[in-house]
Amino acid sequence: MEDSAILRFEYGDTEDTVVALRAFIRDGGYGPGDRLPSERDLIVRLGITRSALRKAFDALEREGSIWRHVGKGTFIASQGLQDGDGLLADLIEHVTPVTLMRARLSLEPAIAREAAINASEASVARVRDARDRTENAATWAEYEANDDLFHRALAQASENILLLSLFDHLNAVRRAVAWNTVIRTSARPAGNHTSFAEHRQIVEAIESRDPSAAQTAMRTHLKSVADRLFGEF
């Protein structure tokens, strides 16, 4: 891509780095399916630290603008995920929170099963790190962002690009669907928040390479989330 896209700034926070990375992608003419330069290359081109770059990648992953594959690199996501046009916009218009949860219960346990079979050690480490971040979150917003990363890390760990694409589309709809306001009674999740133990069970099953246990643990987790949102689900 064009060297004119090289930027040299010091960025004060993740938002600034995200803005710079977006500009690099736009000015470099990257489109859906294109692979971005390596982390080392981007660090030099953008004049940022590895930590800042990875935080920006996390932010763009959460919104569905990019996707990462261990050992292959970072790619621009399909246009439908980035702008909500076409089929995705139509889905957002018609999907309810209940139908969304039923879709998650159909897809994500299967993803967890595949992760237990196929995950590389690097993928397992990424899932484990996302789990730890949810437990150490200082606010509910931070918890929710890292919970999103946890579930996407599991989809990546399946090592199945089609399952990852299906997850990204489902997740894009999830972020856009209108949810009733969740009333929080604390500034951050309590230490005994049920999702923590459920996440640990999922990770343990994947570490043990037990696909049946991973599938069951994910279904149990999503059922627990659904029960909290909707009552007995």
Separation CA 185–CA 138 (nearest Å): 14
Nearest alpha-carbon partner for 176 in 11, 13, 9, 64: 64
The larger pLDDT score, comparing residue 174 to residue 99, is at 99
In whole angstroms, what is the distance from residue 233 CA to residue 222 CA? 10
Return the pLDDT at 7.
38
pLDDT band at 9 (very low <50, low <70, confident <90, very high): very low
Digit-coded pLDDT (tens) for 11-36? 345 678 888 898 898 888 887 777 89
> What pLDDT does 13 receive?
59
- Which of 29, 57, 77 terminates a domain? The answer is 77
Boundary residue ending a domain (60, 77, 94): 77
Number of domains, the chain: 2
Confidence of residue 70 (pLDDT cuts 50, 70, 90): low
pLDDT of residue 221: 97
Could you read off the pLDDT of 107-157 as tens digits, one per residue?
999 999 999 999 999 999 999 999 999 999 999 888 888 898 899 999 999
77, 111, 132 - which closes a domain: 77
What's the pLDDT at 207? 98
Shared domain for 39 and 131, answered yes or no, is no
Q: Are residues 95 and 50 in contact, defined by beta-carbon separation less than 8 angstroms?
A: no
Check whether residue 90 and residue 199 sit in a common domain: yes
Strand partners, 149: none
Contact residues for 62 (Cβ-Cβ < 8 A; gap 6+): 145, 148, 149, 152
Same domain, 111 and 69: no
Q: Are residues 178 and 90 in the same domain?
A: yes
Q: What is the mean pLDDT of the chain?
A: 84
Gap between the Cα atoms of 205 and 212, Å rounded: 8
Query: Is pLDDT larger for residue 91 or for residue 133?
Result: 133
- How far apart CA 65 and CA 78 sit, in angstroms, is 8
pLDDT band at 84 (very low <50, low <70, confident <90, very high): very low
Structural domain harbouring 94: 84-230
Bigger pLDDT: 64 or 44?
44
Q: Is there a single domain that holds both residue 58 and residue 91?
A: no
Are residues 91 and 59 part of one domain? no
